[in-house]
Amino acid sequence: MVGSSKNSSIRLNKGFTLLELFLVIVVIVIMMSMTIGVGAYFVWKNDLDIANANTALAWRRAQILSQANSGDSLWGVSIQTGKIVIFKGNSYAARDTGFDEEIEIANNLTASGLTEITFSKVYGLPSSNGTLLYQNTSNQTTSISINGKGTISY
């Protein structure tokens, strides 16, 4: 009987050894740690970019409302923690809160520089010009500027 020996001691090992399993886990952990770091960078950068775009949007909206003499009042923008507020009035402190429009931004951003601005009636000229700087918790920064004629750049 060729090929049907009962004393054949051929074994087929099925499964993984502990060493193989450990190596696979180590490789996965290394890949995940690299991915998380890169992903966090892009999330933080995106928060800054969105804040800049929303600030430009708010400045332009307040300028247009002032030019249209909406409500026979000046309109302005105030940058707060976690939000941008478009307001009706000569200043944020003296505003008519019933007309506030809020735009959310990331809570991890700190704003410095030009954090409040109003626009003149009819001409829409800004009350002040300068730069607004946003900084996140990982010290990444971005800036947005407005000049005396109302031109926004970022």
pTM for this predicted structure: 0.77
Residue whose pair of structure tokens reads 């004393």 in the numeric block? 7
Q: Of the ranges 12-21, 49-58, 110-119, which one carries the lowest mean pLDDT score?
A: 12-21
44: CB partners within 8 A, 6+ apart: 108, 136, 137, 138, 140
Segment 35-60 shows an average pLDDT of 90
Residue 69 zone, left/alpha/beta (φ > 0; ψ -120 to 50; rest): left
> Looking at residue 3, what is its pLDDT?
53
Q: Phi and psi of 148, rounded to 5°?
A: -65, -20
Pairwise pLDDT comparison (56 vs 10), residue with the higher score? 56
Instruction: For 39-59, give one letter per residue: b (16+ CB within 10 A) or e.
Output: eeeeebeebbebbbebbeebb
Residue type for position 118? T
Architecture of domain 18-153: 3-Layer(bab) Sandwich (3.55)
7 has a pLDDT exceeding 60? no
147 has a pLDDT exceeding 90? yes
Domain boundaries, the chain: 18-153
